[in-house]
Amino acid sequence: MALNLFKSKETRAMIDRYSLIELIGIYLGIFLFLFFMLAPFIEGFLVSLKPLSQLFSTPYSFWPENGSFSAYVTMWESVPRFGRYIFNSLLISIVSTIIVLILVVPAAYAFARFQFKGMALVLGAFLAVSMFSGAVLLIPLFRLMRTLGLLNTYYAMIIPGAAFLIPAAIWLLRTYMMRIPIELNEAAYMDGASQFYTFRRVILPIARPGIMVVAIMTFIGAYAQQFIFALTFNSKTEFMPLPVGLFAYFGKQEVIWNELMAASFVGIAPAMVIIFFLQRYLVSGLTAGAVKQ
Amino acid sequence: MTQTRAAWIFAWALLAPAILYILVIVAWPLFETFRLSFTDASLRRTTNYVGWDNYTKIFDKDFLEIIMRTFTWTFFSVLLKMTIGTFGAVLLNCAVPGRHVFRLLTMPPWIVPMAIGIFMWGWMYNGQFGMISGLMQRLGLSDGPVAFLAYGNTAYWSTIVTDVWIGVPMVTIYFLAAIQSIPRDLYEAAWTDGASRWMRFRRITLPLMGPAIITMSMLSLIATFNSFDIIWILTQGGPSGSTTTMIIDTYSTAIGSKKYGEGAARAVVICIFLSLFCVAYFRVTRKLASSDKA
């Protein structure tokens, strides 16, 4: 199942001809839909251009007057650690992704290739994990981190976070690996290759695109969802990831909204660059396993 | 025999690291939550078993209200996600110029760190200076500023809207994939028979999307039930508890007031609901899979 949502070249048959009214209706609907999806970003961007005096004035004005990018400069001065927050976010996401891949690649292969007793149950248990949010397990995890002396370190955010990224990654990669023909394993066996050699030299190279998709999805998940563990298990500003670090713009008196929005856009940039370059993988990744083979 | 035995060892060896990780980080804490719910654990050094005390303590009128609120909040959110997701998927499936770009443009809410999207909504909901209140006054829908997060009723719906906003992209893309896997011959046959566009949607698209809608609403139900970031950043459960869902309630009891025992009891109640959803999910997906083969 190669789903190529962005490059489909369906022939525009008669059935796809729309009357003018239908066309207007469709575009109007799409406009409404996308407006809902993008309004916060549009407003956020305009806010980042407005001077504070305009932001805190009534009546509300949509367009910036004397708008400038100065907030994008001053944000680095008001919160000097901002660069550090982005670095922390990236570091946490990258390390989480590596941990997840190390655990998931062998496990997904096992689930895809072998059907021993008990494995279906284990797979079900893995999927069930994704249904329990971190919030439910917060108390014991907090005590566990405290006992291990990991509170206020990167590990306190990486280790629990990675666990909740595992189920989706296993599911995705298993689906991908099930599509690798079993004949490859049989041929390798005939040639006297060991199980490990087959996995390492035959399967892994073929599965590389699938592993790539899982890596991207996991990275995005890790980047987007750093909140609850970072909020609860870490109080050191130097280790804070972006979502928690942004609270630094909530000053004592008032929130510096234009800088907060500017900082948000700078913080979003890495994720946006990734979507832009890897959108094709992303969509196939999101839909693999979702649609039946 | 030795071959299968070697394969057996190899398969479980591949699984072992992941199983071990989940045991330590998820299974054991889950067990601990149950154990702690029968203790008076707090910041104090000593911890005593108190039997069912925590449970009798938490089950009062307020808690039942929180449970009800969690369910209605989740219900409306999932309903809106499914409706808007279906609407979006059908529109984005239309063969109109620019559709590839439109599909791409639905993704940002899902891909951007949640907290950032939530901050933006927080500003839009601002009564004095926010966009929604500002536009409503401009259009004459409201006489004065509307501080959405300051009143129970509006705060409740504001948090739902933000939750829907974050959930819709994934639902839309998933539904879009489901629509695109519907065989084209069906549409062509219906078209030849003179079925209108609406008829084709009503009689082909919607029924064949059924399994995807059911699967997604179950998954969405579980994710929404667990929703924490949105409410916590926007209202922290306020004003006066009107957006306090079970997750928020558990968090503020356990982490805010440091009542670990009582918090654990509240978490156990959540776990019970989640397990029920989980069982329902597996049942339904299995049923869908088997009816598919038949």
Domain extent listing, chain B? 59-293
Total count of domains within chain A = 2
Residue A6 lies in a domain: no
Angle between helices B61-93 and B206-225 (to 10 degrees): 140
Residues A70 and A176 in one domain: no
pLDDT at A8 over 60: no
Q: A6 versus B203: which is more confidently predicted?
A: B203
Selection from A285, A89, A90 nearest residue A169 by Cα:
A285
- Find chain B residues with C-beta within 8 A of A188's C-beta: none
- Find chain B residues with C-beta within 8 A of A36's C-beta: 84, 165, 168
- Find chain A residues with C-beta within 8 A of B15's C-beta: 106-107, 110-111, 119, 122
pLDDT at B83: 94
Domain boundary among A51, A75, A99: A75
Range of the domain at A88: 79-287
Burial of A14 (0-12, 13-18, 19+ CB in 10 A): exposed
pLDDT at A292 over 80: no
Give CA–CA dist B124/B2, Å, rounded: 66
CB spacing of B21 vs A41 below 8 angstroms = no
Q: Which amino acid appears at position B190 of this protein? A: A
Q: To which residue do tokens 């995005």 refer? A: A220
- Find chain B residues with C-beta within 8 A of A111's C-beta: 15
pLDDT at A191: 86
Q: How far is CA B182 from CA A109, A179, B24, B81, B240, in A?
A: 30, 21, 42, 22, 48
Do the beta carbons of residue B247 and residue A133 sit within 8 Å?
Answer: yes
Selection from B12, B157, B274 nearest residue A135 by Cα:
B274
- Find chain A residues with C-beta within 8 A of B33's C-beta: 136-137, 139-140
Residues A146 and A277 in one domain: yes
CB spacing of B25 vs A29 below 8 angstroms = no
CATH class of B59-293: mainly alpha
Residue A283 pLDDT class (50, 70, 90 cuts): low
Give CA–CA dist B125/B120, Å, rounded: 9
If phi > 0 it is left, if psi is from -120 to 50 it is alpha, else beta; for residue A3 that is beta
Residue A8 lies in a domain: no
pLDDT at B174: 86
CB spacing of B18 vs A139 below 8 angstroms = no
CB spacing of B26 vs A163 below 8 angstroms = yes
CB spacing of A243 vs B267 below 8 angstroms = no
pLDDT at A2: 43
Q: A254 versus B77: which is more confidently predicted?
A: B77
Give CA–CA dist B144/B98, Å, rounded: 40
Cα of B152 to nearest chain A Cα, Å: 22
Mean pLDDT over A82-108 rounds to 91
Q: B113 versus A62: which is more confidently predicted?
A: B113
Give CA–CA dist A124/B282, Å, rounded: 9
Cα of B106 to nearest chain A Cα, Å: 6
Residue A27 pLDDT class (50, 70, 90 cuts): very high
Residue A9 lies in a domain: no
Residues A124 and A157 in one domain: yes
Q: A18 versus B157: which is more confidently predicted?
A: B157
Tens of pLDDT, residues B84-114: 999 999 999 888 888 888 888 888 888 888 8
Do the beta carbons of residue B119 and residue A259 sit within 8 Å?
Answer: no
Residues A51 and A166 in one domain: no
Cα of A244 to nearest chain B Cα, Å: 8
CB spacing of B191 vs A138 below 8 angstroms = no
Residues A90 and A66 in one domain: no
pLDDT at A12 over 50: no
Tens of pLDDT, residues B112-133: 888 888 988 988 888 777 788 8
Domain boundary among A75, A92, A124: A75
CB spacing of B181 vs A41 below 8 angstroms = no
Helix count and strand count (H, E) for chain A: 13, 0
pLDDT at B21: 93
Tens of pLDDT, residues B262-284: 888 888 999 899 889 888 888 88
Give CA–CA dist B172/B90, Å, rounded: 9
Residues A148 and A37 in one domain: no
Q: To which residue do tokens 């000593």 refer? A: B46
Residue A4 lies in a domain: no
Q: What is the CATH number of the domain that holds A168?
A: 1.10.3720.10
Residue A6 pLDDT class (50, 70, 90 cuts): very low
CB spacing of A113 vs B11 below 8 angstroms = yes
ipTM over 0.90: no
Cα of A81 to nearest chain B Cα, Å: 17
String of DSSP letters for B116-156:
HHHHHHHHHT-TTT-HHHHHHHHTTS-SS---TTTSHHHHH
pLDDT at B74: 94
CB spacing of B138 vs A60 below 8 angstroms = yes
CB spacing of B17 vs A246 below 8 angstroms = no
Residue A3 lies in a domain: no
Choose, out of A34, A37, A102, the residue to mutate when testing the contact with B (most B CBs < 10 Å). Answer: A37
Residues A28 and A166 in one domain: no
Do the beta carbons of residue A274 and residue A120 sit within 8 Å?
Answer: no
Cα of A163 to nearest chain B Cα, Å: 6
Residue A183 lies in a domain: yes
- Which chain B residue is nearest to residue A224, measuring alpha carbons? B113
Q: B15 versus A226: which is more confidently predicted?
A: B15
Residues A178 and A279 in one domain: yes
CB spacing of A132 vs B274 below 8 angstroms = yes
pTM of the model: 0.85
Residues A173 and A275 in one domain: yes
Residues A54 and A169 in one domain: no
Tens of pLDDT, residues B4-43: 888 888 889 999 999 999 999 888 988 988 888 888 877 7
pLDDT at B292: 63
Count of CB contacts below 8 A, A vs B?
292
pLDDT at B160: 95
Residue A150 lies in a domain: yes
pLDDT at A176 over 80: yes
Residue A10 lies in a domain: no
CB spacing of A14 vs B191 below 8 angstroms = yes
Tens of pLDDT, residues A112-147: 888 888 888 898 888 888 777 777 888 888 888 888
Of B18, B111, B129, the CB nearest to A104: B18
Could you give the percent of chain B with pLDDT greater than 70? Answer: 98
Choose, out of B9, B40, B112, the residue to mutate when testing the contact with A (most A CBs < 10 Å). Answer: B112
Tens of pLDDT, residues B65-74: 999 999 999 9
Give CA–CA dist B185/B166, Å, rounded: 35
Give CA–CA dist A207/A199, Å, rounded: 10
Residues A167 and A44 in one domain: no
Mean pLDDT estimate for chain B? 86
Residue A173 pLDDT class (50, 70, 90 cuts): confident
- Which chain B residue is nearest to residue A244, measuring alpha carbons? B115
- Which chain A residue is nearest to residue B277, measuring alpha carbons? A131
Residues A91 and A71 in one domain: no
Of B94, B112, B277, the CB nearest to A131: B277
- Which chain B residue is nearest to residue A165, measuring alpha carbons? B22
- Find chain A residues with C-beta within 8 A of B169's C-beta: 37
Domain boundary among A60, A75, A90: A75
Q: How far is CA B25 from CA A133, A282, B28, B68, in A?
A: 12, 28, 7, 30
CB spacing of B176 vs A5 below 8 angstroms = yes
Q: Which two tokens stand for residue A5?
A: 């949502």
